[in-house]
Amino acid sequence: MRIKTFTMIKTALYISLLIIYCGNLNAQTDYEKEILTFQSDLNAEYKNPEESPLTAEEIEQFTTHTFYPIDENYRVKASFERIANPITIDFQTSSGVVKKYDTYALAKFELFGKPYQLTVYQSQSLREIPEYKDYLFLPITDYTSGLETYGAGRYIDLRIPEGDTIIIDFNKAYNPFCAYSPNYSCPIPPENNDLKIEIKAGVMSPVGHK
């Protein structure tokens, strides 16, 4: 009887632990699924001849981008301080063509216990298009730039939040088209958006490029 009771207790304990584990796993999987969807959509864009910066031959050979492992530590909640008097910035680009963006907000956050600040921009041309009227542009460089990631920086797409906070997910950082083709004019992140830390999240350098 004691053996049977002990076995039942062990079974109940195992089931309880399994339920707790599965609950945690599901919570984690929800976030991983979000990032995997982002990665899948990005890969699909590059496989689509109507959207891809790749040549027809490169599209045939393309299978996937190289991504850092998904790390939720790189998903941060930042304060979103709108700039009362926006300044128009002439962004230098990879082709030498100047593109105009307005400063829109300052995003302040902590990453691995240290404070950081990034300037968030809005394209003067895109905001005239209804689909992109709330689109914000966040270009960054960091200590991986030119080593593990594209040297001219990466981008993160944002939308204007309703409140005074915004989520910045570096797992969604992607390369500009210029990383794959010289036929594009891509804004170069300004010095004030150079993070003095390694951002080991998002898309890595394309093969053969730094």
pLDDT, tens only, 124-164: 888 889 889 999 999 999 999 999 999 999 999 999 999 99
- Whether 153 is in a domain gets the answer yes
Exposure string for 57-88, b = 16+ CB within 10 A, e = fewer: eeeeebeebebbebeeebbbebebeeeeeeee
**Domain of 47, in residue numbers:** 1-64
One domain, residues 109 and 134? yes
Give the pLDDT of residue 2.
Answer: 45
Whether 71 and 123 share a structural domain: yes
71 and 60 in one domain?
no
Domain presence at residue 201: no
| Residue 205, domain member (yes or no) | no
pLDDT at 38 over 60: yes
Average pLDDT over residues 40-48: 97
Query: pLDDT tens, 61-110?
Result: 999 999 999 999 999 999 999 999 999 998 888 777 888 899 999 999 99
Same domain, 101 and 181: yes
Distance of alpha carbon 42 from alpha carbon 62, whole angstroms: 12
- The token pair at 96 is 């030498």
pTM of the model: 0.83
Write the single-letter amino acid at 83. I
pLDDT of residue 134: 94
Helices and strands (DSSP H and E) totals, the chain? 2, 7
How high is the pLDDT of residue 29?
Answer: 77
Question: For position 11, what pLDDT does the model report?
Answer: 46
On whether both 108 and 161 belong to a single domain, the answer is: yes
pLDDT at 186 over 50: yes
Two structure tokens written together for 25: 């796993």
Q: What percent of the chain has pLDDT over 70?
A: 85
- Statement to judge: residues 165 and 75 lie in one domain: yes
Within a domain: residue 202?
no
Residue 20 has pLDDT above 70, yes or no: no
State which of 64, 82, 108 marks the end of a domain. Answer: 64
Residues 70 and 1 placed together within one structural domain of the fold: no
The token duo for 99 is 């593109």
